[in-house]
Amino acid sequence: MTSQTTHSAEGHNGNYPGKGIGQPVGVAVLGMGTVGTEVLRLISEFSSNLEQRIGGPIDVRGVAVSDLGKRREVLDLFPDIALTDNALELIDRDDIDVVVEVIGGIEYPRQCVLAALKAGKSVVTANKALIAAHADELSDAANEAGVDLYYEAAVAAAIPVVGTLRRSLAGDQIQRISGIVNGTTNYVLDAMASTGMSYDEALAEATRLGYAEADPTADVEGHDAASKAAILASMGFHSRVTYDDVHAEGITNITAEDIEAAKDAGFTIKLLAICERLFDDAGNTTSVAARVHPTLVPNEHPLASVDKSYNAVFVEAEAAGRLMFYGNGAGGAPTASAVLGDLVGAARNKIHGGRAPADNPYAHYPVADFGDVPTRYHIDMSVVDRAGVLADISRRFADAGISISAVRQEEHGDASRLIVVTHMSIERKLAAIVEELATLDDVKVVNSVIRLDADAAE
């Protein structure tokens, strides 16, 4: 007779018992900007459905804001809510079960999130910069307290890529993640490609339409995408990758001429976040890398058709193959949708017991130096129009151990425009040859250097 073991509900939930069906889940919302306001509106609008999904009602018991005197119409939907400018005091209340952090920034949100976790409150955050900088510390605090830390909205808003990596692909091995994870830069590059606008004109249009902030630095210099790349790499490769580990370049130097040259060669320029494993000759993972930079994407690749302010993340897994996730990657409603999805998960666990899958950076792969990352270059330069220049430049590439994939030359008066596309080589060698080219008498100027996506045909 085969023996069987049964598990009681209490045993299944271990040290994380639930409040019980029908009990309310007390929620504090920190921040009432665009996202916080939309979260509250959705909680009010969907309250009955949310209660059915969770097993108990969501009871928003307090909201922390920076300006108590500001009129906020959404609060009319919550007449009994406590409004405060002291987030830490609100977090400390005994009737708060889940804290939603949508403040933005790093240091003050870090204090608030840590205080919440250490006090046994689950946390839902949309704060990519916070997670990219302090994921280890926050995850440790959540694990020690036995509570949840959710952050789906920190990467690409409503696109469910964080949950996919954490749950659906948890049994697979992720080889590479690449994607468009910043709507502002994608809008600017798309406008340049579709209308012929200059970078400045496209950015001005993005600002007018609300796609770009008054200070767009974090977006156009690649910082925003770098935070998201750090999160994706950490989750995909089970190794801790921080913002400081990500090489980031923005789009401020992309010109209309670069856009046209890309079109002529069958490419589209996108600002990509690229996270990948690096392998030794035996096929073993040696390290991981994460980078953000303008990239030439072949027109036939699915990422090339992602236009306007949309985002898309392309995941390559050993068993699942290639997967692409596409949608609104920014904005109040899409981000609030992701926050609310996490809130449902955290609240359900409070009702029924248990915890969501936690971060598990067990692999501990080192992060590769950017100079060791393999890539390809598209080099656009103006050279003296004389016999032998192309042969001399080709020889210098050969001497550096870099193979050339394609060369195109155009005549322009007393100068020629020379475009060289390399085969795959390591970043350090490619950067060195560009520096050497810039010193040659026959090279008037190196106009631009743009990397090619790994899927570009060799």
Catalytic residue, from 19, 70, 121, 228: name it.
228
pLDDT digits (tens, 9 = 90+) for 108-139: 999 999 999 999 999 999 999 999 999 999 99
Backbone φ and ψ of 33, nearest 5°: -80, -150
C-alpha separations of 399 from 66, 391, 396 in Å = 61, 12, 5
- For the segment 96-105, the average pLDDT, to the nearest whole number, is 97
Confidence tier at 455 by pLDDT (50, 70, 90) = low
C-alpha to C-alpha distance for 325 and 157, rounded to whole angstroms? 12
Whether residue 35 is annotated as binding a ligand: the answer is yes
Whether residue 324 is annotated as binding a ligand: the answer is no
C-alpha separations of 403 from 23, 278, 333, 373 in Å = 66, 20, 48, 16
At 440 the pLDDT is 96
Whether residue 213 is annotated as binding a ligand: the answer is yes
pLDDT digits (tens, 9 = 90+) for 284-311: 999 999 999 999 999 999 999 999 999 9
Provide the percentage of residues in the chain whose pLDDT is more than 70.
95
pLDDT digits (tens, 9 = 90+) for 319-364: 999 999 999 988 899 999 999 999 999 999 999 999 998 888 999 9
Bridge partners, residue 324, by sequence: 314
Do residues 295 and 122 make contact, with C-beta atoms less than 8 angstroms apart?
no
- For the segment 380-394, the average pLDDT, to the nearest whole number, is 93
Whether residue 32 is annotated as binding a ligand: the answer is yes
The DSSP output letter for 387 is T
C-alpha to C-alpha distance for 313 and 167, rounded to whole angstroms? 16
Do residues 313 and 232 make contact, with C-beta atoms less than 8 angstroms apart?
yes
Task: Please report how many Cα atoms fall inside a 13 Å half-sphere around the Cα of residue 85, on the Cβ side.
Answer: 5
At 11 the pLDDT is 34
Instruction: Give CATH superfamily name and number for 25-157+332-352.
Output: NAD(P)-binding Rossmann-like Domain (3.40.50.720)
Do residues 114 and 103 make contact, with C-beta atoms less than 8 angstroms apart?
no
Query: Cα dihedral angle (304, 308, 314, 320), rounded to 10 degrees?
Result: -100
Backbone φ and ψ of 361, nearest 5°: -80, 55
Given a cut of 80, is residue 314 above it in pLDDT? Answer: yes
Whether residue 217 is annotated as binding a ligand: the answer is no
Any residues with CB less than 8 A from the CB of 13 and at least 6 apart, and which? 352, 353, 354
Do residues 204 and 290 make contact, with C-beta atoms less than 8 angstroms apart?
no
Given a cut of 50, is residue 12 above it in pLDDT? Answer: no
At 410 the pLDDT is 84
C-alpha to C-alpha distance for 124 and 391, rounded to whole angstroms? 59
Domains of the chain, by residue range, sit at: 25-157+332-352, 163-327, 373-452
Confidence tier at 15 by pLDDT (50, 70, 90) = low
- Please give the model's pTM, rounded to 2 decimal places: 0.93
> In this structure, which amino acid lies at residue 266?
G
Q: Does domain 373-452 have CATH number 3.30.70.260?
A: yes
C-alpha to C-alpha distance for 384 and 443, rounded to whole angstroms? 6
Bridge partners, residue 449, by sequence: 379
Q: What is the DSSP string of 251-312?
A: STT--HHHHHHHHHTTEEEEEEEEEEEEE-TTS-EEEEEEEEEEEEEETTSGGGG--TTEEE
> In this structure, which amino acid lies at residue 67?
D
Q: Mark whether 228 is an active-site residue.
A: yes
Confidence tier at 13 by pLDDT (50, 70, 90) = very low
Do residues 295 and 271 make contact, with C-beta atoms less than 8 angstroms apart?
yes
pLDDT digits (tens, 9 = 90+) for 1-10: 333 433 333 3
Whether residue 34 is annotated as binding a ligand: the answer is yes
Name the average pLDDT for the chain.
93
At 456 the pLDDT is 54
Token code pair at residue 127: 């704060």
Do residues 99 and 121 make contact, with C-beta atoms less than 8 angstroms apart?
yes
Whether residue 19 is annotated as binding a ligand: the answer is no
Confidence tier at 208 by pLDDT (50, 70, 90) = very high
Which overall architecture, per CATH, does domain 163-327 show? 2-Layer Sandwich (3.30)
Give the number of other Cβ atoms within 10 Å of residue 89's Cβ.
12
Nearest to 291 by CA among 199, 177, 183: 177
Do residues 126 and 35 make contact, with C-beta atoms less than 8 angstroms apart?
yes
Helix 183-195 crosses helix 199-208 at what angle (to 10 degrees)? 120
At 17 the pLDDT is 85
pLDDT digits (tens, 9 = 90+) for 133-159: 999 999 999 999 999 999 999 999 999
Bridge partners, residue 328, by sequence: 310
Q: Name the E strands within 391-452.
A: 404-412, 415-422, 425-426, 443-452
Decide: helix, strand or coil at residue 38: helix
Given a cut of 90, is residue 201 above it in pLDDT? Answer: yes
Q: What is the DSSP string of 348-385?
A: HHHHH---PPPP---S-PPBPPGGG-EEEEEEEEEEE-
Q: How many residues does the chain have?
A: 458
Q: Name the E strands within 2-150.
A: 25-30, 58-64, 82-84, 98-101, 122-125, 149-150
At 171 the pLDDT is 95
